[in-house]
Amino acid sequence: MLVLVIEDETDLAATVEYNLRAAGYQTRVAHTGRDGLAAATATPVPDLVVLDLMLPDTSGVEICRRLREQDATRHVPVIMCTAKGEEIDRVVGFEVGADDYVVKPFSVRELTLRVGALLRRSHRAEDEPAIVRFGRLRIDRDAHRSWVDDVEVALTALEFRLLFTFMSRRGRVQSRDALLSDVWGIEADVTTRTVDTHVKRLREKLGEAGAYIETLRGVGYRFRDNPDEAG
């Protein structure tokens, strides 16, 4: 597995690189946003990106946005690293497609564990179907693409993972805590309100098919067991 580290603090980048290599990962390092984008699209494309939010030439938010706009890197998991710890900063990071968020100063050991956990979550288990259909919805897990009535719907990596989790567990109640654990990762430092925000946005993107996701007050959410239940 190849991990790209985009970090302008050279000492920290070297420490992160050393620990990732010690854990068995291949690494690639860039110290600016421009070099980071070039490194992200170089062959082979990295399996995961560790991205600093505060870079000298452009923000990590903009880098993440550009990664999500390019076909080659659209579905590469991203862990944002930053000194900013306010919830609004984490939410913005997730909004542009980050998969996890680590606040400086952080334990390099913790970061390495998060890298491993995110890589495991991002790879499909062999017994999971690549194509899942439900009523007007169709998703391709391997290609990270989704359609409603054969019209493609553009989802962020996190929104796609949320939708796949719902569809693969249809008919079963999903608490907000369970979704935080399984979609964001147990280590993600976000609140249950973030779940509500993402579910709302996912419903909006799905249009009428968003009615497949049912809210259970005081409990969580449930993806309907039968598409006809949504009327």
CB distance 104 to 110 below 8 Å: no
CB distance 230 to 135 below 8 Å: yes
CB distance 6 to 49 below 8 Å: yes
Three-state DSSP at 148 gives strand
What's the token pair of residue 39? Answer: 């490194």
CB distance 38 to 31 below 8 Å: no
Residue in the block written with tokens 């796609």: 160
Q: Is 22 exposed, middle or buried (0-12, 13-18, 19+ CB in 10 A)?
A: exposed
32 pLDDT band, cuts 50/70/90, is very high
* pTM value > 0.85: no
CA–CA separation, 203 and 224 (whole Å): 13
CA–CA separation, 202 and 132 (whole Å): 17
CB distance 31 to 10 below 8 Å: yes
The pLDDT of residue 144: 80
Give me the chain's average pLDDT, please: 85
145 pLDDT band, cuts 50/70/90, is confident
Three-state DSSP at 85 gives coil
CA–CA separation, 19 and 37 (whole Å): 23
What's the token pair of residue 22? Answer: 């010690």
pLDDT in tens, 178-210: 888 778 765 555 667 888 989 999 999 999 999
The amino acid sitting at 24 is G
Phi, psi (degrees; rounded to nearest 5) at 22: -65, -25
